[in-house]
Amino acid sequence: MSPQTLTMLEALRAGMAHMLETDDSVVLMGEDVGRSGGIFRTSTGLAQRFGGNRVIDTPLDEKGIVAHAIGMALYGLRPIVEMQFSGFIHDAFEHIMFCAARYRWASGGQYSCPLVIRSPSFGGIKGGFWHSQSAEAYFFHHGGIKVLSPSTPEDAYRMMIAAVQDPDPVLLLEPVPLYRSMSAEFDTDGVPAEFGEARIVRPGADATLLAYGPIVHECERVADTLAASGGAEVEVIDLRSLMPYDVETILASVRKTGRVVIAHEAPVTMGFGAELAAVLQEKAFGYLRAPIDRVGAPDVPYHFSIGDEMYRPTASNIRAGITRVTEFAF
């Protein structure tokens, strides 16, 4: 198969199309996903190609959509559910975490719930309260669900396939600001991503910069700029899979650099960075040559009135974090 150049949005659509084509148990459902192709047009053409029984328009009811999808999954289907925006996922939280994520455990392994929840997430689109959230931390704490966050079109394609093939619920945090702003060439060969596998975006020996989602690219630009100016050589790691996450790749980098900055769009307080910092303190304390630095959002709701640049990590405050850890001396 020849490589194709796809945007992030087209890659997600290609992943869904592959699974709809190769597995008759796969269905896509959500508000406007059929005839209109979804609010971002991610599923454009799929209803026409696979029919209304497999690409299903639903009422405006996130809790009801997920509840129905769970029932369908328990009876042998593999639903893919779109939440439109990450801020709307909270209405379905009870069904996701207290039903879908617990069936395997509640049944002693007799039942599984193969369900994919697509959550268009993250800021940078001048969105309001419900349109730019990073809700990942809510889902880490309860267990029973995998959480993935692609930052490239190829990862989006392969993560979609892996998520649908998984026997348990998977939350896919899709980077809305990259939907149409990023494209890449790769083989649409149906090969799934591996869960729990991080990617070293660029190597470096002076500090480790951990990130995921759309902010990975800002981190890479900062690291490249620093290196070009003769500054620190920063190793940038895209975590990709957040639950489970790749502890070994992180530890190997930190043992080499001894200095760590964690950047994410979610608020710093009790965000995913807190978990990463705690694990590094536990498993790599003897290698650390500076306190771990976290760069993230303030503890306020995201809203366009604040300004994306005031909420999301910018090149300036990512660079400031790197400076703090590289210039620190005991």
Among 48, 42, 45, 12, residue whose Cα is nearest residue 30: 42
Q: What is the DSSP letter of 232?
A: -
3-class DSSP assignment, residue 257: helix
Q: What would you measure as the largest C-alpha separation in the chain, in angstroms?
A: 64
Check if the beta carbon of residue 257 is closer than 8 Å to that of residue 223.
no
Residue 323, burial from CB neighbour count under 10 angstroms (0-12, 13-18, 19+): middle
Check if the beta carbon of residue 297 is closer than 8 Å to that of residue 262.
no
Give the active site residue among 18, 68, 95, 131.
Answer: 131
Q: DSSP string spanning 261-307? A: EEEEEEESTTSHHHHHHHHHHHHSGGG-SS--EEEEE-SS---TTT-
Beta strands in the chain (DSSP E): 4-7, 26-30, 55-57, 78-82, 116-121, 146-148, 170-175, 183-186, 199-202, 207-211, 234-238, 241-243, 260-267, 293-297
**284: which 2 tokens?**
């790599």
Rounded to whole angstroms, the Cα distance separating 170 from 116 reads 5
Question: Is residue 131 annotated as part of the catalytic site, yes or no?
Answer: yes
Could you give the residue numbers annotated as active site? 131
